Amino acid sequence: MAFKLPKRQTSGSVVCFSCQKLVSIEQKECLQCGQANPSLWGFARPISRLGANFGFIKIVIIGCTLLYLITLLFDLPGVQSAGVMNLLMPSSYSLLIFGSTGSVPIFEWGRWWTVLSSGWLHGGLWHLGFNMAWLNYLSPMVAKGYGAGRLVSIYTFTTITSSVLTSFVAQYWTSLPASFSGSNFSVGASGGVFGLLGALVIYGQRANQRQVLQQALTLTIVSFVLSAFVGRVDNWGHLGGFMGGYLIGLMPGFNPNQPQRLYHLGIAAGALAVTFVSIILSPIHALLIG
């Protein structure tokens, strides 16, 4: 089947991507929210068919799954399965090659870009499944409150804050007990997932959405309590993600009471591009240094 480009709409009405109000395709500015080019050059309707998140959830799920399979195949002899909950774990060597983060990769090897690439790698089949299930559950709520563009930025930003905090703690707070230490090596999308929870908490507060606030707080508390009793969990990474999600909701341009703007979509596109570069940079760097 041949790939077909989305057909540009040239007449009729369309829903403004910013405020979700109906506007004429000819309008250069939305009469409701003042957004310039509310029809996205006539492509707002085909883009909206991707869903409220503009296909971001699919991008993350497909990307993480492909990278998980690649890390398995890259070092098949190193694949381990230590019980049901640790099924089909890629080798540490394979994860390092493809961009795991932590105090060692960042501070000792200078692989600073892994603060992003690590969020797309996973240490086992259940690890991948749990994170993708949470992402699929939380993302629509964040997209509804902030818009698709800001969803991408929140996820990207909190992936970074998660990686930075756990790496910093492992590097500089070495006196902490082992159960409270940061990570020398870390992978997983859970930092971004906790970032979405943080963003939902601040959304519930600022937009006076008490049901959202209560649900987000309950999920956050339960998740942190459960994480405290589960081994191989990066609790500092989770905290870094949650804090990042809460803080970004306080930043100018991320007020959930204000509709998303065209520049939010531009920032989101840039965030995805930088993420892609970070993912391919790790194996290239490993190849160059031998």
Catalytic residues: 190, 238
Q: Please state the length of the chain.
A: 290
In the DSSP assignment, the letter for residue 101 is B
Which residue's entry shows tokens 């883009």? Answer: 47
In the DSSP assignment, the letter for residue 175 is T
> What does the pLDDT look like over 182-194, one tens digit per residue?
899 999 999 999 9
Predicted confidence at residue 23, as pLDDT, reads 82
> What does the pLDDT look like over 1-41, one tens digit per residue?
444 556 666 677 777 777 778 787 777 777 778 777 777 76
Question: Is-contact 64 132, C-beta < 8 A?
Answer: yes
How far is it, in rounded angstroms, from Cα 215 to Cα 174?
Answer: 35
Predicted confidence at residue 1, as pLDDT, reads 43
Reported pTM: 0.88
Question: Is-contact 211 265, C-beta < 8 A?
Answer: no
> What does the pLDDT look like over 61-99, one tens digit per residue?
999 999 999 999 999 999 998 776 678 999 999 999 999
Percentage of the chain modeled with pLDDT above 70: 90
Least confident of 42-51, 145-154, 205-214, 275-284: 42-51
Q: How confident is the model at residue 138 (pLDDT cuts 50, 70, 90)?
A: very high
SS (H, E, C) 4-67: CCCCCCCCCEEECCCCCCEEECCCCECCCCCCECCCCCCCHHHHHCCCCCCCHHHHHHHHHHHH
Phi, psi (deg, nearest 5) at residue 22: -75, 130
Q: Count H helices, E strands: the chain? A: 11, 2
